[in-house]
Structure 1
């Protein structure tokens, strides 16, 4: 099981994208886009980086590599090996890169196509790659980023965000909308989110801070930490510790871990319906009515109100501030 400290180290090291250090690219194309714009990029093997520009054009840098070396080639030369389809109509741009589905294709020395793109701020993106990293920043509308083997980094977005990878870390920051972040083998970091947040990984840690809305967090093997959140919280881990600080609790709080400890801090003087189970409990029962012992608490605080369910095979601590 990874620790929270290792999460931060792994995040700093692995979330960075592997662009060429000197800004090299193979060729460049520009497309006029009316706003609000839509852009879809699909590539089977490469990185995608999108950021906001100051014009109504989409500027696309094609970064073509072979054996990790950037090739100085043209679009025509690229299409001798790969199929590149570009559809541009009004406010929509769709770029698709396909690899030959034929026997004898040399996958060892094949070309890899990455993109570095600037678009108008009012652009909604659908970014897809199967073996590479995805980075997106500074756009006003909703965004979707997917990769099957790579990291995702999304920041400063004015709409909803979806980020999905099957083997990589996910970072989402400064999002003015709902967030869905899913990975099957990686860590998730979410900061400054103003919307409902769903973060799911099957093998990794999850760290949330300054999140407002309905929060759902789940990992099968890792720790969960959330600080300065406001809303409802549902968190679960099969093998890890869960700790959190809630500034404002709404609707419900449900936290469960099969093998780890729970430590939660909530505002004082709230009406609560408690259902708490653990190997050992550290819960102040002021103005409490119900039943309690060393391993189980069921009842009401301050006359009852918001459901609070904490379940662990380890220690459970509920603190008030």
Structure 2
């Protein structure tokens, strides 16, 4: 009975305090708008210096919330000092049919300052699973989870993360890393800075990078990757199309399915490896020929490191 009384006391006193603490920590949104959706939805978002987080939920609604931050901490938008600073920004959150338009910008280029003690914003959006996202960000991280649609992202800075999504995905970034976890469909990534990591993809993957390494794990489909500033590590479970990996700034290490018919064209400073059922030519830095009778074209070339293939 004493143990039961203690547990009851914990749930009646301690648990409500923890929930209240979480609510205070989350803070109140500066903007909160909900829009009813019937069918597939679309998001069009344009921001500068703000993070964007989009998550799928089961409701036939799009919920847009904007939180105010300073130095990484949530701010009370009703605070007089914060309210005065908010007057320097314009926000537009409107619905046009099945599309939700979200625009955030500074009223004057002079007032926009991302330095210390200046405001920044976090957009937290919930949308139906069948939602396409068109995002333009001049700075700040982007995270999308659980959406199935046509996604187009353009970012000049900040990390981009995609989780449990499907459809068609195109992204261009001039700064920041990419991270993809579980995707079904076709993906085209262009990056001029930052690493690219893709885990668990079924479909087609294209990557063009002028800076940073590329790591790809558990891919089923086709893959074309070009990087001028880093190494490539790839693990392909099954091949449904061509594999083309090129780098001028590092080595290439790839794992391909065993017993697959391949047309190999490997070029690197040290391309020596053990190949079974291979017919073709092998030189000091080139391997070209057919494996297991030939089939899927596999091209790998490195001008700044070695090329190595393992088979599983």
- Residues 1:72 and 2:78 are matched in the alignment: yes
Offset of residue 291 of structure 1: 1.8
Quick one: structure 1 residues 281 and 179, their matched pair in 2 at CA, closer, same or farther if it must change by over 3 Å? same
Q: Contact 1:158–1:176 at 8 Å: present in 2 too?
A: yes
Deviation per residue, 1:112-166 (Å, 9 max, x gap): 66544444x1xxxxxxxxxxxxxxxxx3222222212111111111223223211
Q: Which moved further from structure 2: 282-291 or 239-248?
A: 282-291
Pairing 1:128-143 to 2, within 5 Å after superposition: 139-143=129-133
Instruction: Give, in whole Å, the separation in 1 of the partners of 2:52 and 2:185.
Output: 25
So what's the TM-score if we normalise by structure 1? 0.74
Q: Is the 8 A contact 1:173 1:192 kept in 2?
A: yes
| 1:218 CA drift (Å) | 2.6
Relative to structure 2, which stretch is displaced further, 157-166 or 222-231? 157-166
Alpha-carbon distance change, 89 to 80 in structure 1, aligned in 2, over 3 angstroms: same
The answer to whether residue 296 in structure 2 is matched with residue 289 in structure 1 is: no
Label 1:140 to 1:292 Cα distance change in 2 as closer, same or farther (>3 A): same
2:144 is paired with a residue whose SS is strand
8 A Cα contact 1:48 1:114, kept in partner: yes
Tell whether the 8 Å contact from 2:232 to 2:247 is kept in structure 1 after alignment. Answer: yes
The partner residue of 1:235 within 203, 225, 230 is 225
CA 1:21–1:262: 2 relative to 1, 3 Å: same
Q: TM-score, normalised by structure 2?
A: 0.76
- CA distance in 1: counterparts of 2:88 and 2:211, whole angstroms: 42
| Superposition RMSD in Å | 3.2
Q: Quick one: which of 236, 250, 256 aligns to 2:240?
A: 250
Q: How many residues align?
A: 281
Q: Secondary structure at the match of 1:286?
A: coil
Structure 1 pair 78/305, CA: closer, same or farther in 2 (3 Å)?
same
Where in structure 2 are there 5+ consecutive unaligned residues?
A: 1-23
Q: Counterparts of 1:184 and 1:82 in 2: how far apart (Å)? A: 25
* Deviation per residue, 1:226-264 (Å, 9 max, x gap): 111111111222132211111101221111111311111
Matched with 2:5 is: none
Whether 1:224 and 2:214 are equivalent positions in the alignment is: yes
Aligned to 1:320: 311
- Over alpha carbons, which structure has the higher Rg? 2
Alignment of 1:49-198 (within 5 A): 49-52=53-56, 55-63=59-67, 69-72=75-78, 82-85=89-92, 87-88=94-95, 91-101=98-108, 106-107=111-112, 114-119=122-127, 121=128, 139-198=129-188
Contact kept in structure 1, 2:54 and 2:144, CA below 8 Å: no
Given candidates 196, 199, 202, the residue that maps to 1:209 is 199
Equivalent residue, structure 1, for 2:20: none
Task: Give the distance between the partners of 1:221 and 1:172, measured in 2 at CA.
Answer: 20
Greater helix fraction, Structure 1 or Structure 2: 2
Q: State whether residues 160 and 175 of structure 1, in contact with CA within 8 Å, keep that contact through their aligned partners in structure 2.
A: no
Partner of 1:270: 260
